[in-house]
Amino acid sequence: MKNRKKMRKRAGLACLNLFFIVLCFVTLIPILYALSVSFNAQNSLLSSDFSFLPRQFTLDNYREVLFGEDILLWFGNTALLAVSCVAISLAVAIPAAYCFSRRRFPGRMAVIRALVLLNSFPAVLSMFAVYRLLRPLGLVNSRAGLVLVYTGTMAVFSLWNLKGYFDTIPVELEEAAKIDGASTFRLVRLIVLPLAKPSIIVTGLMVLIYVWNEYIYATTFMTGEDKYTLAAGLYSLQATEMSGSWPVFAAASIVVSLPVLVIFFLCQRHMVSGLTAGGVKG
Amino acid sequence: MSLKREKRRDNPRQKRLPSNAKQRKTTFWSYLCSAPSLILIGLVVVFPILYTGYISLTNMNVYHWFDFDIIGLDNYERALFLVDSGFLSALLATILWTIVNMVIQLVVAFVLASLLNIESLRFRKVYKTLLMFPWAMPGYVSILLWKTGMFNSQFGLLNQWMEKLGLEAVRWLSSDVSAFICCTVVNLWLALPFMIMIMDGALQSIDKSYYESAILDGAGWLRRTVSITLPTIRPIIGPAVIITVFTTFKQFDVVYLLTQQAGAKTGSHFHTLITYTYENAFITNNYGYSSAISILIFVLLLVFSWKFHLEEKS
């Protein structure tokens, strides 16, 4: 009797494991298919005997992506944009977030309320207005224009997320340092910033990932291919029913995704604490 | 984001306001330090919204780029009262889209998270990591991979399988209903990992002794789920669910990239509100009308978030 119960339990567990293995495989099919196509030498796409393991292994598609297309140029553009956006975002958001967290001044609550409301506004909706405003200023089709748009769009999030984290740091530490005669600047640099490091890292990462993934402004505002970001470039490489090469596009997708995947899995734990403490979730 | 907490913190501090001069100095420095951030937000976020409001009152379009006239509320009238304007059907489609996606998402995430929490499951961590991949990939890359890798009528995997089964190739994205289903599948694929994580965390926080005493009292699985599990996880998953409702309602990437891309439309007429606005601004170049819809959506979102705030308070 007891034996039979044990057997049944074991069979159930085996079924559960099988279920999850199948589920994981089904979930990963689009990614696995892209991987296999990108490594496959034969152009066997139109034949029906397809397998998830490439028949003839090759790196040609990757060579084509890295050296045949402008991807290195786009990578440079993206890196330049990302670094300037992260630097400006943090430089602008940290002092503001600190003031909103620690100081009390007229208009503070009104701004905080307005920020909550602004956060629900999808940026795509005002894109035309932004375009029309930036064009006479010569900021359309220029990197400075994109930096302005990206930092502005992420400014609400950065300010709110950092302020939320500053709120969780006890004030007592700063008060003690103040009694010892430290200036506000020293106090922020030596006490607050080191304590807020997780949140600063996560905020910077979110800006970085946003710039890395943003394609709609990048394709609408930039016309020359030499100014494209990675996202806009990949968008232009995609294989349609008519044109483009699916294996090259698959290889390019993998190349573009890898850095984001690495960052995501390295910072997974940070992500949760750095985001939840601020009270905002992506 | 809780304003409630904010207010409570505010009051005791304001009672011990320092001397007038000192307060004035604090105010000055606070304004100075937050000015760059607030000016940036004002320029890139607030001013364009106000400008969108202004455009919505004009007949600006590609023929009236400079010499547009103010035409009052005509654009709003057209969106709200002209039955075949497309706005109302897009609104209905968006509501249907949000409901379908949220219901499937919550049910599937709950079932999978419960299964992941069965005690004797040993490789839980491996499964969880593998299931996180759709969340970790850049969203637009995944969507484009789905578009070409799965749905494309020549080299898409789905049609290769159809061929193997001896069926005819299907143009998956070309009719409204099948495009809606395809978009839903992709959206679920993208959104489920986050929901599973949230549910998983919530389930782990339940005290196991509740279940033990319930089993002793002879409560079945259904009874335990309804009276213990659901009431306990509800407040924990609440905020995440609300945020997901908003992102689903505002979904643009999935629908746009799969079916509406400029120059590569697939022939489906399924629109969410945001893709409908985009089409009117950048494809048919009807700027005044598109701006009016933008403002309507913004108002709608404001009402929603205000309602959710009230609910959160009570």
Q: What CATH number has the domain bearing residue B188?
A: 1.10.3720.10
pLDDT of A138-195, one tens digit each?
888 888 899 999 999 999 989 988 988 888 888 888 888 788 777 888 888 888 888 8
**Angstrom distance (rounded) from CA A156 to CA A97:** 10
A124 neighbors B275 (Cβ within 8 angstroms): no
In CATH, what is the architecture of A72-276?
Orthogonal Bundle (1.10)
Residues B158 and B293 in one domain: no
Most B CBs within 10 Å, among A21, A98, A128, A258, to test the B interface: A128
Any CB–CB contact under 8 A between B150 and chain A?
yes
Name which of A121, A231, A281 is nearest B243 (Cβ-Cβ): A281
Q: Which residues contact A146 (CB under 8 A, 6 or more apart)?
A: A81, A217, A218, A221, A222, A229
Residue at B111 is within a domain: yes
Residues B228 and B291 in one domain: no
Residues B90 and B228 in one domain: yes
Two tokens at B233?
A: 């996880």
Q: Inter-chain contact B14–A24, Cβ cutoff 8 Å? A: no
Residues B128 and B179 in one domain: yes
Residues B103 and B224 in one domain: yes
Q: What is the pLDDT of residue A244?
A: 63
Name which of B2, B127, B305 is nearest A20 (Cβ-Cβ): B127
Chain A residues closer than 8 Å to B305 by CB:
116-117, 120
- Which of A29-33, A89-93, A277-281, B285-289 is the least confident region? A277-281
- Which of A213-227, A228-242, B95-109, B289-303 is the least confident region? A228-242
Residues B148 and B292 in one domain: no
* Higher pLDDT, residue B298 or A54: B298
B101 neighbors B187 (Cβ within 8 angstroms): yes
- Which of A1-5, B140-144, B180-184 is the least confident region? A1-5
CA of A106 to nearest chain B CA: how many angstroms apart? 7
Mean pLDDT (chain B) is: 83
**Angstrom distance (rounded) from CA A31 to CA A29:** 5
Q: How many domains does chain B have?
A: 2
CA of B193 to nearest chain A CA: how many angstroms apart? 10
Residues B115 and B186 in one domain: yes
Any CB–CB contact under 8 A between B284 and chain A?
no
Q: What is the pLDDT of residue B13?
A: 47
Q: How confident is the model at residue B266 (pLDDT cuts 50, 70, 90)?
A: confident
* Chain B 62-91, residues with CB within 8 Å of chain A CB atoms: none
* Chain B 217-276, residues with CB within 8 Å of chain A CB atoms: 239-240, 243, 246, 250, 252, 256, 264, 274
The SS3 call for residue B129 is helix
Chain A residues closer than 8 Å to B150 by CB:
29-30, 33
Q: For residue B189, give the chain A residue with the closest CA.
A: A27
Residue at B113 is within a domain: yes
Residue at B129 is within a domain: yes
- Average pLDDT of A16-33? 89
Q: What is the pLDDT of residue B183?
A: 92
pLDDT of B13-62, one tens digit each?
444 555 788 888 888 888 888 899 999 999 999 999 999 999 888 888 77
Residues B124 and B76 in one domain: no
Q: Inter-chain contact B153–A241, Cβ cutoff 8 Å? A: yes
What's the angle, vertex CA A209, arms to CA A208 and CA A210, rounded to 5? 90
Residue at B175 is within a domain: yes
- Average pLDDT of A255-264? 87
pLDDT at A19 over 80: yes
Chain A residues closer than 8 Å to B2 by CB:
279
Q: What is the pLDDT of residue A48?
A: 45
CA of B12 to nearest chain A CA: how many angstroms apart? 11
**Angstrom distance (rounded) from CA B148 to CA B150:** 6
Two tokens at A156?
A: 């609400």
pLDDT at B185 over 50: yes
Q: What is the pLDDT of residue B123?
A: 83
Q: What is the pLDDT of residue B94?
A: 93
Residues B146 and B294 in one domain: no
Name which of B13, B41, B133 is nearest A31 (Cβ-Cβ): B133
ipTM: 0.82
Most A CBs within 10 Å, among B144, B275, B276, B286, to test the A interface: B144
Any CB–CB contact under 8 A between B121 and chain A?
yes
Residue at B48 is within a domain: no
- Average pLDDT of B188-202? 89
Question: Hey, which of A77-91, A106-120, B236-250 has the most confident mean pLDDT?
Answer: A77-91
Name which of A45, A97, A279 is nearest B1 (Cβ-Cβ): A279
The SS3 call for residue A143 is helix
First to last CA, chain A: 52
- Average pLDDT of B264-290? 84
CA of A52 to nearest chain B CA: how many angstroms apart? 11
Q: How confident is the model at residue B280 (pLDDT cuts 50, 70, 90)?
A: confident
- Average pLDDT of A73-91? 92
Q: How confident is the model at residue A42 (pLDDT cuts 50, 70, 90)?
A: low
Q: What is the pLDDT of residue B178?
A: 87
Handedness of CA B214, B219, B221, B222 (dihedral sign): negative
- Please provide residue A86's backbone torsions phi and psi, each rounded to the nearest 5 degrees: -65, -45
Two tokens at B298?
A: 């913004």
How would you label B118-149 residue by residue, b for 16+ Cβ within 10 Å and e otherwise? eeeeeeeeebbebbbbbbbbbbbbbbbbbbbb
Residues B187 and B293 in one domain: no
pLDDT of B62-121, one tens digit each?
777 777 777 878 888 887 887 777 888 889 999 999 999 999 999 999 999 988 888 777
Residue at B75 is within a domain: yes
A260 neighbors A209 (Cβ within 8 angstroms): yes
Most A CBs within 10 Å, among B22, B27, B33, B37, to test the A interface: B37
Chain B residues closer than 8 Å to A120 by CB:
246, 301-302, 304-305
Strand boundaries in B41-95, DSSP class E = none
**Angstrom distance (rounded) from CA A130 to CA B67:** 19
Segment (H or E) for B274: helix B273-278
Q: What is the pLDDT of residue A82?
A: 92
Q: How confident is the model at residue B12 (pLDDT cuts 50, 70, 90)?
A: very low
Please give the residue range of the domain that contains residue B113. 86-258
Spans of all domains in chain A: 2-58, 72-276
Two tokens at A229?
A: 């970001």
- Average pLDDT of A211-223? 86
| Closest by CA position to B258, among listed A256, A133, A238 | A238
pLDDT of B164-182, one tens digit each?
887 777 788 888 888 899 9
What one-character DSSP code corresponds to residue A257?
Answer: H
Q: What is the pLDDT of residue B25?
A: 84
Chain B residues closer than 8 Å to A28 by CB:
130, 133
Q: What is the pLDDT of residue B107?
A: 92
How would you label A141-180 residue by residue, b for 16+ Cβ within 10 Å and e otherwise? eeeebbbbbbbbbbbbbbbbbbbbbbbebeeeebeebeee
CA of B203 to nearest chain A CA: how many angstroms apart? 17
Residues B246 and B105 in one domain: yes
Residue at B24 is within a domain: no
Chain B residues closer than 8 Å to A261 by CB:
133, 136-137
pLDDT at B8 over 50: no
- Average pLDDT of B152-158? 78
Chain A residues closer than 8 Å to B130 by CB:
24, 27-28
- Average pLDDT of B250-279? 84
**Angstrom distance (rounded) from CA B25 to CA B194:** 45
Distance (Å) of CA B305 to CA A112, A124, B245: 15, 19, 11
Q: How confident is the model at residue A105 (pLDDT cuts 50, 70, 90)?
A: confident
CA B88 to chain centre: 19
Any CB–CB contact under 8 A between B298 and chain A?
yes
Residues B110 and B217 in one domain: yes
